[in-house]
Chains A and B, each alone.
Chain A
Amino acid sequence: MRTLFDRVWDAHVVRELADGVSLLYVDLHLVHEVTSPQAFAGLKREQRTVRRPELTLATVDHNVPTGDRSLPIADAIAARQVDALGSNAREFGIELFDLDSPGQGIVHVIGPELGATQPGMVIVCGDSHTSTHGAFGAFALGIGTSEVEHVLATQCIVMKKPRNLEARIRGSLEPGVGAKDLILALIGKIGTAGATGHVIEYTGEAIQALSMEERMTVCNMSIEAGARAGMIAPDEVTFAYLEGRPRAPSGAAWAKAVECWQTFRSDPTAHYDAQVRLDAATVGPQVTWGTTPGMVADITARVPDPAQLASENEREAVTRALEYMGLKPGTPLAGIPIDRVFLGSCTNARIEDLRAAANIVRGRHVSARVRAMVVPGSQRVKAQAEQEGLDSVFREAGFEWRNAGCSMCLGMNADVLGAGERCAATSNRNFEGRQGRGGRTHLMSPVMAAAAAIEGRLVDVRGW
């Protein structure tokens, strides 16, 4: 009796090494400009080659500007890193979606969009949000630069098998509540280290009812619960999403692929090392109030009071977080005034996210106190949105409409918060300084962020 993860793992073991450590084959290696230059430099130093360049895909996303792309990159150091990926890709024969490519975008948005991400694969990338691809029933994990170099050279990773954790989500979500709220609520429940050492398999009717893009939002934030990866068993929703995509199998190969993909599921009696359950019907719109994604509450709640917490550790952590966030215990979350809105990131910048947010802002205008931006997850998402007229909806409402990239999710480019600025963000991390030194981040869903932009404060979107 095996789990989905057991099956994918077993299918990729090249050889079991000592002490439960295995050499695992990698089907798809995604590469971006920030965590790869030192890996390519290592290959060159040792005169090694890339074993399977055709299983490797590169793009620039982390430090690229999202403004006018006809101008050169103003940051000379960032420009050199982008150039380095270009020359490394050429030298080693790796396909690159460069800054001027219509296929450029956040690495975790373009893999699925191309149909390169497929069920049953092992996928790695030098980025923790690689867990996104698990939505397709792939084992997809973030790795460090030394491992990036190892995969380039050998097409394998060396690792000890993580344990299985089942997150069973029953019931159905209320209107106004979505995948982002579900995963934030789960992280709030199990904590930011709740799944350390485990691969989470999300099961239950609430998960099966999600679209592929919503499933990606859920799996994306698995790392925020400490998990090595997140996975969802592929089904008809998965196959329908993939059919016809450029890198997906076609013709006779399609039927054969689907037949194979259908085997990637957990047996009904499979053993999980840990289990957690959540009723989707009990989840309201979530907003983070602190400096980890686990410091989260329903929008109807109040900022917690550290004095009422049980352990000294918790009291210290919450006190510190509230001081950084500039929040007083007992303040209702709804009503907290904001300065910025960021609609973007590998968590929530796909077409469905933009459509949902556009529906909130259509015919309305961003509050005078707020600067709001939309950063589509990829240039293809941007083009699709423009075809649907969503860019006009956002622009007319007072949003900036930008080019694709990681942007203000991590603030490596010019898109940053100023010290003390408070931001409603659809991204995945609210760490101190994540969006800019001294910046204060509240994570939430695209519809919640859109409503906050209009009101100039955190607001319960269910009242809209």
Chain B
Amino acid sequence: MPRRDVDTDQIIPKQFLKGVDRTGFGASLFYDWRADPNFELNRPEAQGATILVTGANFGCGSSREHAVWALAQYGFRAIIAPSFADIFLANCYRNGVLPVQLPAADVEILLGRAAGGSYEIDVDLEQCRVSDDRGYSTRFSPDPYGSELLLRGLDEIGRTLLEEPSIAAYERSHA
């Protein structure tokens, strides 16, 4: 999807934010754009895609975590882009979606190859490597804390609750 500044309003429009559950967002991903038969996700070879390659500043705008829920529930496990918006990044790590930041020139190469039809990319978080079926291979630098959440599926709240003595001490000293 060779577009930059894809905002979370596009990823999941506002009419789908009225629910109280975390499920059922996959079908509404890129709702307005999917009405266009030429939209990238509507192409036959894009069916079942699990890696989204896209332009810079992906996920900008609203903080709605529903955007990541929609991407994950649609089936995306990783997103490759030259850059991401901060809140969107934080939301990805907490929902099993890996954001991969690659140089813009590399993303251009991958986008060019993806536009040509059936195309396979492999993202390996443990090895920090992106490779494709045409010989492209590079390392990426994932956020250490984010990767830990992704790799170990930690209950972040449970872990912070173990910090109770530190939190209580902070509260006492700032009362």
Residues on A facing B (Cβ under 8 Å): 14-15, 17-19, 21, 23, 25, 34-35, 37-38, 41, 46, 48, 51, 62-63, 75, 77-78, 80-81, 84, 126-128, 141-147, 149-150, 153-156, 158-160, 162, 192-193, 196-197, 223, 226, 228, 292, 294, 313, 316-317, 320, 410-412, 429, 431-434, 437
Contacts and interface: CB of A to CB of B under 8 A. Distances in A.
A158 B149 CA distance: 12
Interface residues of B, number: 50
Nearest to B143: A160
B63 A142 contact: yes
Contacts of B75: none
A292 B5 CA distance: 8
B14 A411 contact: yes
Given A317-B4, A433-B32, A37 B167 contact: no
B18 A432 contact: no
A111 B87 CA distance: 21
B94 A147 contact: yes
A48 B57 contact: no
10 contacts: A143-B63, A147-B94, A154-B157, A162-B86, A192-B5, A196-B83, A228-B86, A292-B5, A316-B2, A432-B9
A234 to B, nearest CB: 19
Contacts, number: 168
A144 B91 contact: yes
B17 interface: yes
Contacts of B156: 146, 150, 158
B73 to A, nearest CB: 13
A226 B55 CA distance: 15
Interface string B1-21: 011110101100111011111
Question: Which of A18, A127, A146, A320 has the most chain B CB atoms inside 10 A of its CB?
Answer: A146
A410 B14 contact: yes
Contact of A412 (B4, B18, B91, B161): B18
A160 B145 contact: yes
A431 B170 contact: no
B167 A156 contact: yes
Given A150-B157, A192-B5, A437-B32, A128 B10 contact: no
Question: Which of B9, B86, B161, B170 has the most chain A CB atoms inside 10 A of its CB?
Answer: B86
The 4 closest A-B pairs by CB, nearest first: A37-B20, A144-B65, A144-B91, A146-B94
Nearest to B156: A150
Given A38-B22, A155-B167, A128 B15 contact: no
Interface of B: 2-5, 7, 9-10, 13-15, 17-22, 32, 55-57, 60-66, 68, 83, 85-87, 90-91, 94-95, 143-145, 156-158, 160-161, 163, 166-167, 170-171, 174
Given A81-B18, A147-B90, A226 B60 contact: yes
B83 to A, nearest CB: 6
A23 B18 contact: no
A35 B21 contact: no
Contact of A432 (B15, B32, B85): B32
Contacts of A141: 87
B32 A19 contact: no
A25 B168 CA distance: 11
A128 B62 contact: yes
A327 B94 CA distance: 40
Contact of B161 (A153, A159, A162, A223): A153
Contact of B86 (A46, A78, A197, A433): A197
Nearest to B158: A46
B62 to A, nearest CB: 5
Contacts of B144: 18-19, 21
B66 to A, nearest CB: 8
